């Protein structure tokens, strides 16, 4: 079975789906690996390193798709809305596709992939279970984003983070406030603490308190009770506007007292809630920094401009997204480990084992045999259930 790794085509994307170190784990189990020339160059992985590990390098992108039984990408068509459509013509029936597909984005895009007869797997849909932990790409990329958000903030802020006792007196530590203590938020807390800042965090999920405190952060408790704060997958649930209004009122004082605010409150399939208003921004000290990790979907800050850095009321608001791509060497390494583990789970004896009784397969498989087959996605887009969808079916 041949695994193909094309070069990422999204503008500015520097990651690669497979790194050289991951190739031997696949070849020793019977895979052949074909890599498009220069696929890993922008992440720090030259073609020679792939060849040394047993991969075949080809210069023609179309040849990668022609040869591959399974295509591994970071941003597949769906998550790549700029240049991804060009790959659709290269797909062939029976081929498998693994990568970010943005399944809650456009149903038309998913149907285009389905119409080519591709069996696609969306890594965003990986269940957050112990069994699937080694395959959890979202957590890996969120870890990178949380780290980079703090580094960006520290580089942008006119203040330093650590407390220093100097001949010129004592410098007080920076104050970093993290809104949303998921994987990205927790890594932001850990990184801010390592840089010497005083870190605090808020999350509407009660379970987050212990995690924040374990990293040395202060958990901000608000006299608010969220209804069904998290879903079965561990993500925060959307609340009504009355809740968010009261939440903003209570968060305002903490935001105003902070030198840096990092917002990471994202709800899958929903527009992120506005948690930092323009009034809060106007009340912050000049030189303060907001890094909005929800920027790609509109942002948690009312003044965020997706993909841009703006200064409002003397406060710098960073709305960049795809931050993982700015640390491509290790982001690619983590991604490759996750997708390799997933690939080895899917393929046995040289064949895809598509047993939908297996939660990992059932939750991640997006398209098969010309249909959008994922139950969650069909429900999200109000599509009728497929015949026999409730029964596990094994295909290969």
Residues noted as catalytic? 128, 133, 136, 139, 235
If one counts every other C-beta atom within 10 angstroms of the C-beta of residue 213, the result is 13
Tell me how long the chain is. 396
Under 8 Å between Cβ of 367 and 95 = no
Lookup result for tokens 């902070």: 258
User: Is 388 exposed, middle or buried (CB count within 10 Å of its CB: 0-12, 13-18, 19+)?
Assistant: exposed
Tokens describing residue 135: 């395959």
Residue 2: beta bridge partners? 32
Under 8 Å between Cβ of 260 and 157 = yes
**Cβ neighbours of residue 365 under 8 Å, at least 6 residues apart?**
119, 120, 121, 354, 356, 373, 374
């Amino acid at each position: 079975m041949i695994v193909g790794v094309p070069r990422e085509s999204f503008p500015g994307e520097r990651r690669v789906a497979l790194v050289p170190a991951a190739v031997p784990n696949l070849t020793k189990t019977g895979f052949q690996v074909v890599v498009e020339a220069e696929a890993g160059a922008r992440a720090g992985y030259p073609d020679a390193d792939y060849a040394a590990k047993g991969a075949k390098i080809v210069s023609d992108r179309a040849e990668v798709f022609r040869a591959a039984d399974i295509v591994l990408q970071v941003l597949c068509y769906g998550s790549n809305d700029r240049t991804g459509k060009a790959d659709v013509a290269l797909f062939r029936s029976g081929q498998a596709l693994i990568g970010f597909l943005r399944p809650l984005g456009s149903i038309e895009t998913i149907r285009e992939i389905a119409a080519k007869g591709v069996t696609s797997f969306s890594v965003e849909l990986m269940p957050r279970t112990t069994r699937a932990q080694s395959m959890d790409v979202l957590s890996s990329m969120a870890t990178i984003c949380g780290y980079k958000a703090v580094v960006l903030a520290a580089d942008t802020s006119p203040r330093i983070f650590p407390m220093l006792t100097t001949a010129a007196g004592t410098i007080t530590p920076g104050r970093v406030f993290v809104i949303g203590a998921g994987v990205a938020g927790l890594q932001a807390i850990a990184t801010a603490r390592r840089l010497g800042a005083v870190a605090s965090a808020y999350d509407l999920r009660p379970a987050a308190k212990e995690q924040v405190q374990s990293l040395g952060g202060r958990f901000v408790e608000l006299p608010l009770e969220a209804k069904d704060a998290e879903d079965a997958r561990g993500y925060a649930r959307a609340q009504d506007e009355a809740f968010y209004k009261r939440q903003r009122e209570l968060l305002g004082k903490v935001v105003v007292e902070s030198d840096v605010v990092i917002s990471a409150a994202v709800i899958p399939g929903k527009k992120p809630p506005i948690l930092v208003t323009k009034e809060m921004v106007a009340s912050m000290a000049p030189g303060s920094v907001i890094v909005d990790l929800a920027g790609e979907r509109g942002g948690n800050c009312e003044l965020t401009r997706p993909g841009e850095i703006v200064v409002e009321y003397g406060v710098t608001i960073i709305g960049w997204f795809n931050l993982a791509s700015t640390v491509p060497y290790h982001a690619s390494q983590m991604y490759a480990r996750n997708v390799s583990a997933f690939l080895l789970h899917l393929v046995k004896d040289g064949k895809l084992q598509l047993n939908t009784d297996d939660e990992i397969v059932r939750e991640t498989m997006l398209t098969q045999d010309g249909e959008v087959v994922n139950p969650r996605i069909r429900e999200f887009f109000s599509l009728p259930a497929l015949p026999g969808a409730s029964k596990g079916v094994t295909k290969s």
